[in-house]
Amino acid sequence: MTRNIHHQYIQRCLDIAALGIPKAYPNPMVGAVIVHEGRIIGEGYHQLYGTGHGEVQAINSVLPADRHLLPHSTIYVNLEPCAHYGKTPPCADLIIKEKIPKVILGASFDPNPSVAGKGIAKLRAAGVEVITGVLEQACIDFNRRFFKWMQKKRPYVILKWAETKDGYFAPADASQKWISNPLTKRLTHRWRSEEASILVGTNTALIDNPQLNVRLWAGHSPTRLVIDRSLKIPSTHHLLDQSIPSIIYNENKSIVSDNLSYVKLDFTIDILPQILDHLYTQNIQSVLVEGGSHLLSSFIDADLWDEARVYIGNTTWGKGLPAPILDRRCVVEEEELGGDELVVLRRV
């Protein structure tokens, strides 16, 4: 029974932490719930990078009439409380200051070297009871972008494409032909609002003239990333309109500005690690790859992908450019969407 209650409150932490997408980036998404004798007396989540973390928001939300209950309460958090001074003071110190006697955590550790067990150690040294590992895998999966960024020193890479029932990605003549339906297009815009950046290659930029913003969903537009080796994209194209922060990867120049930057790469060697290294230095924690078949296959061939989201349209072409292929053993989700099928795959 106690285990189920712990699960319930950690799940609540995850539910409210999700409200921080994507404004908490590059920090992890953290929710906290304070419980006294079966009643939630406070809860909060990390709302914006540089502001108070979930534990701070939860403690601050406790009503004055309930403040005296904190030394007799339990705080649930989906990730280890920080123990260092960053943009805000340590959350572990605040829990100790408020005399909260029990902390129950989802993930057993924070992969940030500045935390990495230090928060738990500080709490236990102060006499606080700490229980870890409640819904642990769910908590790690929830912050998988943050874990990847910390552990692999690169952003979390999501590949996205649509293909026909018979496995074609695009017409052979490079013309435009829609595969997905309006519902799946709207979902794509929601996905864009949840990620830090979005990447396409030169051909996609030239042929489609995409905006790569969020129009069919309320939310944040990701930083636009374009591979344009020889700077072929006309200044009249949307990607150069400076309406959204954009980065052009090329072999000619490096210029940094607020909404349109050029980053020079060495195209004589593999550019994908160079791009991911650059994004890591810019604190860009995730990238949604919406490029053409060649770009998508390049990430697959280099084993530089973490997740793929594939729409399978309710249509057949009989011919065309074949879609990229991934191991079906990586499938974690399948869903029907207005006649189309959504397949989500993750690397193990």
Catalytic site positions: 55
Residue 224 region, left (φ>0) first, then alpha (ψ -120 to 50), else beta? beta
Question: Contact, 285 vs 153, CB < 8 A?
Answer: no
Residues 6+ apart with CB under 8 A from 137: none
Which tokens is 3 given?
Answer: 């285990």
Residues 6+ apart with CB under 8 A from 8: none
| Nearest alpha-carbon partner for 105 in 89, 93, 123, 88 | 123
